[in-house]
Chains A and B, each alone.
Chain A
Amino acid sequence: MSGWQLFVEILSWVLISAGSFFVLVGAIGVYRFPDFWTRLHAASVSESAGVILMLSGMIIQAGWGLIAVKLLIIGVFLFITGPTSTHAVANAALVSGLRPKNYDDDTSDDPDPA
């Protein structure tokens, strides 16, 4: 294995491992956090970071070609749809009256977004 191949291999596995770490941390957060809002935060933010890192690692593994382009397209769509679905869920929860823990209604301005 030449030096360049070794470098590519190490780089891709570092990226994939880092992405897996973020996803794992997100999963632990979803399990351990106290209420809906913090859980949503743990799930969405870590998932976006993890997906980007893992997909870039996989693209490096795949090498330049159709598979890399497909992975790139998957990454772009996950990057768009992940935050959007988080927004939709959070929006629905807020509108239906769910509030964060220890949320004080008096100190805030109009809690109803419109």
Chain B
Amino acid sequence: MRHHLILRVITKLLVGTIFLFALYVQFHGDYSPGGGFQAGVIMAAGFIIYGLVFTLKRVKQVFPPWLVHKLIALGVLIYAGTGIYSLLAGYAYLDYAALAPHHPEHGQHYGILIVELGVGITVTAVMVAVYYAFASRAPILSDEDW
């Protein structure tokens, strides 16, 4: 790792900002271009760049594979759960007006936020899971090889 001093410093500088930007894209998605898919990919890119520079072992300590697999399901659960909730509340599936019956516009707003959160979680987790699956198979390049 000593060889990659510049990459390590720049990565430490950027990873936090990447996560912050992902959250901005996630929660600003209903006002400006963005949303769950884009935010999820940006968030996953943060983890992947951390893994590329600081080795797979350390990113797996930060974001363990068992958690990744749980989050894949959790995102879909949030998405579908919103739909089931509106069904139970007497509306159509994924009719966001069910979330705030007296203010349908507010309901739309909350609904989009919650559903996009679910999308974001699943996309992040799937991207990271794909990265783990690929990177775990590669032969590890030792420090002496650089």
Q: Give how many A residues have a beta carbon under 8 Å from the other chain's beta carbons.
A: 9
Verify A81–B14 contact, CB threshold 8 A. Answer: yes
Chain B interface main SS type: helix
CB-CB under 8 A from B14, the residues of chain A are 77, 80-81
State which size class the interface on B falls in: under 10
Verify A80–B10 contact, CB threshold 8 A. Answer: yes
- Extra A-B contacts (12), CB below 8 Å, given A95-B146, A114-B146: A77-B14, A77-B17, A80-B10, A80-B14, A81-B10, A81-B14, A84-B6, A84-B10, A87-B6, A95-B145, A113-B3, A114-B3
Total residue contacts A-B, CB cutoff 8 A? 18
Chain B residue with Cβ nearest A87: B6
B138 interface residue per 8 A CB criterion? no
6 A-B contact pairs sorted by A residue (CB < 8 Å): A77-B17, A80-B13, A84-B10, A87-B6, A113-B3, A114-B3
B14 CB to closest chain A CB (Å) equals 7
| A contact residues vs B (CB 8 Å cutoff) | 77, 80-81, 84, 87-88, 95, 113-114
Bound-state CA distance A113–B14 (Å) is 25
Chain A residue with Cβ nearest B9: A84
CB-CB under 8 A from A95, the residues of chain B are 145-146
Task: Using known A-B contacts A80-B13, A95-B146, determine if residue A88 contacts B7 with beta carbons closer than 8 Å.
Answer: yes
A32 CB to closest chain B CB (Å) equals 29
Question: Which residues of chain B (1-25) have a CB below 8 Å from chain A?
Answer: 3, 6-7, 10, 13-14, 17
CB-CB under 8 A from A113, the residues of chain B are 3
